[in-house]
Structures are given as structure tokens and as C-alpha cells.
Structure 1
Amino acid sequence: MHATLPLLAATDFPPIRRRRLDTLQVNLGYKCNQSCLHCHVAASPQRTEMMDAEHVALVLQVLQARGIATLDLTGGAPELNVHFRELVQGARALGVRVIDRCNLTILSEPGQHDLAAFLAAQGVEVTASLPCYSPANVDRQRGDGVFDRSIAGLCELNALGYGQGDGKLVLNLVYNPQGPSLPPPQAALEADYKRELLQHFGIRFDHLFALTNMPVQRFGSTLVSKGTFASYMALLRGAYQADNLDTVMCRSMVSVDWQGDLYDCDFNQMLGLHARLERVARPHLRDLLTHDPEGEDIRIADHCYGCTAGQGSSCGGALEAPVPQTVVIQFAGKGTR
């Protein structure tokens, strides 16, 4: 079990409100074919929570009723949900932009041999996890053999036309630090990734998103067990940038869990901090058919400093111009690399 995380005390994080809803981020389940050290969902092959057909149909209903532009599918490995392809096809038929947060190794799992071709045929935007271009670092963070399988997945996506810079089949990569440090400046790191992946593997992609590790679930528990939770929170607080408040993802996105409950972001989802809707005690997906979340207060806690630290962090990467210095805190007796 995970260590208790001291995140729910009163916070001095600035209050923020919602703007117009343009993105529905749907967690299709916590089951995954990997168990990554940085995973804030604590996903694994042993998890059984999965969104059912009724809620998948409700997602499509809400997308149409609210005129939502983007459906962002996550997990776990969202592709392991048996209704994944049905949802993708339904959303694309409505003209909705669909993002698949793919771990790349799912493309070589049994029964998924045609997944990459399906994503390409549907024009799905792929945002893929690759925490480093070094095999040793990736395997250390995500498991033995993950790097080679990830490279194979990227090659397959490239062969289908992904990541060619023409805007047709978009392929983005995601970087997470190896330990309790802020990510380095996104633009410079993207240049490094593009150079190394092209030179060594012939791989092309569109953008790199540098994300801050959030002190929740598996990563937060590791911080607690190593005695570095407080120092990591101090790092996030100390790197707070007020300008990032304007573009944090929770202003225009709602996170939906596998049961249809609503949250301001998937980090709040993991902490059980439900979103606020007028006169609704525990908002559900169906409530979006009758309630507009615009103008509602966003639930905040100390972990929100993770999205506003330094260059900022969101599901779309950095929020502003990168900071010049990356501060690193070491686990006791062990570096972060």
C-alpha cells in the first residue's frame, strides 16, 4: 500500500476559477501493462478498475452536448479498455480532436498488433511516454526492456506517417525527471531528443512535453519513504511562478475517472478531491449535461505548486519560458540519474 501523503492540509496556493470547458480528460481505467516509478495513478497490470460501456456512451453524449473540442484519453493504458476503439471512433465522428496518452509498449502487447494502424486511420494524436533517450534511464524508471519496445513502437508510428511535422498525424513525447527535481528547460531538451532519436534510430516526432513529477500516489509514496517529501514540496514552492496560474490545465479541462466522477485534474482525482459544481455534492459526468462548470472554484492543495513551479507543467508540457536553473534534490545515498 502507499504511504500516507500529507497533502490535504490547508494551503496558501492562490485561488483560481474555471474558464470555458474545452477539454474532457477521461481516465478509462487504472490497468496498465507497466508499473512505472513516477506514475501518479499507481497503474499496474494488477489493477482492475475500468470504465464500462454505459459511461463511454455518456462521454460521447457530453462531448456533443457541450461542444467540447478535445477528448484526452488516459489511464493506466487507455487502450486496454475494451471500449477504447468504440470511444475513439465515436468522438472522431463528432469532429472531436482525440489524444491518446500511449506508453508505446502497448503497441506490442498481445491483441494490439493493429493498434497503431487504427490510431493512424482515425487521425488520433499520440502523446507517448519516453522519459529519456538513454536505454538505461528508461529501463530503470519503467522496467527492463521498455526502451527497446518503446523505440520499436515509435518506428511503427513513424512508418504510418506520425511525427513528420506536417500536422496530419501528430506524435508528441513526454519527459519526466528520474527523481525529485524540476524538469530542465523544455525547448533545449526537445532539441536534444530530436537529435539523439534521429541520429541513433531514425525517429522523428513533433513536440516534447517536459512534465514535473507530482507528489501523489506511487511517486509521492517514494518521497515519503525516502524522507524527501518535505524537501521536494519546498522545491516546488520555492520555484512558484505566478504567471503560470493563467495557463494551468485545470482552467479549461475536466478530469473524469473510470466511474464518471469529475475532478479538476487527474492529480486531484488520485487524491479524491472532487470538482465543484453548483448544487452538486459529488459531480458526475451526467451533471455536465445540465451544469456548466465555467466560473466554478477549482479545488486546490499544496500539490498544485507542481503545476506552477519553474517553467510550469501541464498535460501539454511547459507553460511559459523555461527557467535557467534546474535544482536537484537527491534521495538519501542515491542520485537521481
Structure 2
Amino acid sequence: MTSKEERILVVISDDATDGLLALPALSCLVRSLAQSSYQVDLLTGPQGRLMAQLFCKSLNVIDESGFISAKGLYQQLKENGYASYICLSPERRHRWLGWRLGIAQRYSTGFGQRLLWDGEAIGRVAQPNTIRQSYETLVQRFLSAKQLACIAVQPPYLVFTDLPVHADSPLQIVVHPQVPQTHEHLLAEQYEQLLCSLDLIGKRCEFILCGSTESLSYCRYLCECLAKYDIKARINELDNDSYQVAKMVAQCDLVIAEKGMLLYFAGALDVPCVGFGALPLGVDVLRHPIANPQRCLMFSPPSGRLTQEDISLINMTDSAVRIRRWFSQLQALEVS
């Protein structure tokens, strides 16, 4: 049994957006501790539990929503006798939790105008990518203090394996569309160029459009556009259910990410990804910190329309080579 001195309490927000930002750091921590005697307990809500266990299956999760009162939760946590506390959440009650439990080794940060209380300022941040980097810095500080190696400063959730070959089924492509900020027909033109650049036209593939309530009409429009190329498309109405979207990603072969969360899903689940359109993370996708153009297909032209230069970039990337290799293998199977 793991001794009390070896237990670590980590907390992430149950909010879908805030929780997603913490997952790369959490995954890095769990992998780095895999060969050590430390046990990681994760405190979060039901949404955070689903997301975290999808990426880190070995975690022991304490669901804070299951306690009638905070007092009951504090009592259980105190009895566990944690040696360290790592807060990967912006929520006030989480940032103060380690102090209230009397845990000596606390690693936490604050965002925006909130003051830091652990005595070491990482910096006031506003951009989500900086929040993610701050979380990873916290994890690195913890591992350094324990004299443990931090596995993958550039986490391996960006490393893609070869696409699988399905002789009896089409390539499944998941898309979670944004409601377009411009005219729908302009974005449809981008999709046409994307299909051409990935050499998808005429191939056996099926698009699964994960539509929320506000994007259903646009999903139907995309279905009509794809039908012109004899490409099957169906709508799966998930209404922004992050866990269900992640499950869809886990079961598909390729992701087209119009929404920022799909970058995390595709990366953490090792699914090839095309970053497409204006992702809602406040930065150009080509310069996004989790978008390595050598490992995934990324483009978000400032003009809102693809240029020949964008398509050239796609053609040069490693993932484009892998996708084309997949199609050539599939064609060889069909011929034989």
C-alpha cells in the first residue's frame, strides 16, 4: 500500500474549458511519476473525471460533487494525509484548498488580477495557451523539487502514429464546426480546398459532424457541400458535450478541428488532426504552442481563405505524408 508521504493531491476544474487546459500538464505529471512510488489522486467534478480518465486511465479520482458539504470533503482529504498539493484550476476554492488542508508543499498559480498565495509568481496571464504553459511549469517545479525527471516537456500527445488501414470500412473523419463568422459559402470553399489538398475527393471516407444546437444549420449546409463530391456525411448532435466529442475522436481516424478543444482531444488520444478555420484560442493556429507543423496539419489564414502558400505548407508536413500513405495502402488492398 502506498504510504501517506507518497500521496499527491491534484485538482482540476470541472469546467470543460478550464479542465481541458489542465489535461496536458496532468498527463505529463502522471507519465513522469509512472515508475515512482508516488500516487496521484485527482479532485474534480463529474465532467473533469470523464475527461481525465479518458486520457489518464490509472488515476484515482475523487468526485467533489459527491459530497453534501465542503466539510465532509475536507475531512476525507485530511484523512488521506497528502504530502503535496498541485492546483491546476483557476477556481478560488481550489487555489486555497491546499492551505486549508494544511498540506506543506503546495504548487498553485492565479490568473488575471488574482493574487498568488504560494509566494512564487509565475506571472499574470490572460491567454489560454499561457495558462496551459503555467500549469506545465507548476508540474515541472514539483518534479524538480522531488528530483524526478519531467518526461516530455513537449508532451508526446502530439506524436502521430500511422493511420490504420481499414479494408472494409471508410476513413472516419470527425469535424466539430464553428458557427461561421463570415458567409457560409466562403467557409465551404475552404473545405473544398482542404478536401483537394488532402486528396480526399473520390476516396472512401465518412464525415461525422458533431453539431451543437447553434451550429446544426451549418452542419446541414456542410453535408450538402460534401455530397457534391459523393462523400458521406452525418450529423451527431452532441450539444457541446465535451466527453461525447472526445469519445467520437477516440474512435475516428482523422480530426478536422475548427474548435480548440479538438486539438487537445486529438493530441492526447494520438489521432491525426487538421487545424482548420479560426480556432477560439486567441492566436493564429500556425503559431499555436500545441501546433507543431512537423507533426500535424495546421492552417488558419488571416484572410479567412486558403492561399497556395497554406496548401504548400500542408503538403510538406509529416502528417500529410502519413495520410497519403494510408490512402495508398487502402488502394492497394482494394486492388488486391
Q: Which has a greater percent of helix?
A: 2
Highest CA radius of gyration, 1 or 2?
2
TM-score by length of 2: 0.30
TM-score by length of 1: 0.30
Indicate the structure whose relative CO is greater, using CA pairs within 8 Å and at least 6 residues apart. 1
Q: Which has a greater percent of strand?
A: 2
